[in-house]
């Protein structure tokens, strides 16, 4: 027996095999994604904490509390600020370096490995190293600034510079991954396009903006999407480099706020409510981005 699916013929046995292959992944998604998501949504309407054995339904009180909590509102701003500064910088720097590395130069493999090396370093270990680099008294960064007569900067201890310090670390830590992604995209562009444009008299800048950049639009879209998701999930470097959310809660992001509510204040209901808000924020942003992607991204 045959069935039609999108104009093609498939045997029912082949469809059954396909679903059988998908079953493990679907099962894991249900167990580790959908069921926890439903549980978190339910817990956000209860007053359960880790010191109690009962869960009482309290309606939207948890949502009312977090939206009146200055720390939660500050965490939303900090998260948006981190993403708004880090993602554009990461996009421009990684694309620029990828273009520079997409050439036949001496020591190319060494440069590629050097840029990717920070990606494989554990976040906790890298964070501790950068805490030392940022040390106001003994840190190399301030020692270098002192050679030029610049006063020491209290990198992680000043509300004005603490988040920028985290952004600087995050750029160093994740830049190599995006460079590799852009390199793969650049190497997938047929050289005949740029050669034909060069024969027609187009310069390097025109070739880049009129040919290379449009053909890289799917890669750029992917990098931005992953950048948004990762920026909204940032936690480890915050908790290691700036315990308690930094001075005046200047580095307290949403995930850090959720952690504090759950494991420091033992208010699981409030943590769940903040988690739901975070989920809705990411969902809204990615939905808008996907719609924009259909309009501006060229997959052909």
Question: What confidence category does residue 275 fall into, taking pLDDT thresholds of 50, 70 and 90?
Answer: very high
Q: Is residue 20 part of a domain?
A: yes
Comparison of pLDDT for 169 and 31, the residue scoring more: 169
- On whether both 285 and 159 belong to a single domain, the answer is yes
pLDDT in tens, 56-73: 899 999 999 999 999 999
- On whether both 256 and 180 belong to a single domain, the answer is yes
- On whether both 118 and 239 belong to a single domain, the answer is yes
Q: Is residue 133 part of a domain?
A: yes
- On whether both 110 and 190 belong to a single domain, the answer is yes
- On whether both 68 and 25 belong to a single domain, the answer is no
Q: What is the mean pLDDT of the chain?
A: 88
Q: Is residue 263 part of a domain?
A: yes
Nearest by Cα to 248 from 155, 162, 167: 162
The per-residue pLDDT for 11 is: 58
- On whether both 210 and 266 belong to a single domain, the answer is yes
Q: Is residue 54 part of a domain?
A: no
237: domain CATH number is: 1.10.3720.10
Whole-prediction pTM value?
0.88
- On whether both 12 and 126 belong to a single domain, the answer is no
Q: Is residue 21 part of a domain?
A: yes
Mean pLDDT value of segment 138-151:
91
Q: Is residue 69 part of a domain?
A: yes
pLDDT in tens, 87-101: 999 999 999 999 988
- On whether both 130 and 272 belong to a single domain, the answer is yes
Per the structure, the complete domain to which residue 20 belongs is given by 1-43
Number of domains, the chain: 2
- On whether both 39 and 77 belong to a single domain, the answer is no
Query: Residue 115 above 70 pLDDT?
Result: yes
- On whether both 30 and 174 belong to a single domain, the answer is no
The per-residue pLDDT for 7 is: 47
- On whether both 23 and 128 belong to a single domain, the answer is no
- On whether both 109 and 203 belong to a single domain, the answer is yes
The per-residue pLDDT for 4 is: 52
Q: Is residue 49 part of a domain?
A: no
Comparison of pLDDT for 85 and 19, the residue scoring more: 85
Phi and psi torsions of 204, nearest 5°: -65, -40
Q: Is residue 53 part of a domain?
A: no
């Amino acid at each position: 027996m045959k069935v039609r699916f999108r104009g093609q013929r498939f045997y029912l046995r082949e469809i059954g095999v396909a679903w059988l292959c998908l079953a493990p992944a679907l099962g894991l998604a249900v167990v580790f994604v959908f069921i926890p998501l439903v549980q978190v949504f339910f817990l956000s309407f209860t007053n359960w904490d880790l010191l109690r054995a009962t869960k009482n339904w309290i309606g939207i009180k948890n949502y009312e509390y977090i939206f009146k909590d200055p720390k939660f509102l500050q965490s939303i701003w900090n998260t948006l600020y981190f993403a708004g500064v880090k993602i554009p910088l990461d996009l421009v720097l990684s694309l620029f370096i990828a273009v520079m590395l997409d050439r036949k130069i001496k020591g190319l493999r060494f440069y590629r490995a050097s840029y990717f090396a920070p990606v494989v370093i554990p976040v906790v270990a890298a964070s501790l190293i950068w805490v030392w680099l940022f040390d106001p008294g003994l840190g190399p960064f301030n020692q270098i600034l002192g050679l030029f007569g610049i006063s020491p900067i209290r990198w992680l201890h000043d509300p004005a510079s603490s988040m920028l310090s985290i952004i600087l670390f995050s750029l160093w830590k994740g830049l190599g991954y995006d460079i590799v992604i852009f390199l793969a995209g650049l190497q997938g562009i047929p050289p005949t396009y740029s050669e034909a444009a060069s024969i027609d008299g187009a310069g390097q800048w025109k070739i880049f903006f009129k040919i290379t950049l449009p053909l890289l639009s799917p890669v750029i879209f992917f990098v931005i999407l992953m950048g948004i998701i990762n920026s909204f999930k940032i936690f480890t470097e915050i908790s290691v480099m700036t315990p308690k959310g930094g001075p005046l809660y200047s580095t307290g992001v949403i995930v850090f706020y959720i952690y504090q509510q759950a494991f420091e204040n033992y208010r699981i209901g409030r943590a769940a409510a903040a988690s739901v808000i975070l989920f809705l924020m990411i969902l809204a942003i990615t939905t808008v981005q996907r719609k924009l992607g259909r309009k501006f991204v060229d997959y052909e």
